[in-house]
């Protein structure tokens, strides 16, 4: 899944996921208007919250990956750093390892 394919977590995106094509009007947690092309009833708030929770987890996971990718920089630059570290015999604490460790620490993997 690409970052641009992510659903932004929220009630509206959850309802559209659960009942594609539906239109509605909410007042608080109550549907005061509901229309679904296939005649489905509105989703329950438990269903909506379940989708929102899933979307938040997915969004956070991809956000951390996106942030890491941005900070890692171009892979060609990484290869150049790694090449220099190899030539200097410095694979344990070289510039490439330090850069990767810094990015991973700044953007830890979500649990």
DSSP letters of 92-110?
A: TTSHHHHHHHHHHHHSPPP
Q: What pLDDT score was predicted for residue 1?
A: 47
DSSP state, 37? T
Taking the C-alpha atoms of residue 76 and residue 79, their distance in angstroms, rounded to an integer, is 5
SS3 69: helix
Encode pLDDT of 27-69 as tens digits: 988 999 999 999 999 999 999 999 999 999 998 888 889 899 9
Q: What does the pLDDT average to over 10-21? A: 95
Q: Quote the mean pLDDT of the chain.
A: 92
Report whether pLDDT(2) > 60.
no
Rounded percentage of the chain residues whose pLDDT exceeds 70: 95
Q: pLDDT tier at 4 (50, 70, 90 boundaries)?
A: low
Report whether pLDDT(111) > 90.
no
Q: State if pTM tops 0.85.
A: no
Report whether pLDDT(85) > 90.
yes
């Amino acid at each position: 899944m690409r970052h641009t394919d992510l659903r932004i977590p929220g009630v509206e995106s959850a309802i559209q996921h659960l009942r594609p094509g539906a239109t509605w009007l909410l007042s608080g947690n109550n549907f005061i208007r509901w229309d679904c092309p296939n005649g489905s009833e509105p989703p329950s708030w438990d269903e909506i919250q379940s989708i929102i929770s899933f979307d938040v987890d997915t969004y956070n996971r991809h956000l951390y990956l996106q942030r890491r990718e941005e900070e890692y920089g171009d892979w060609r630059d990484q290869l150049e750093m790694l090449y220099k570290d190899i030539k200097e015999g410095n694979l344990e604490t070289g510039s490439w390892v330090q850069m990767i460790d810094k990015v991973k620490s700044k953007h830890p993997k979500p649990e």
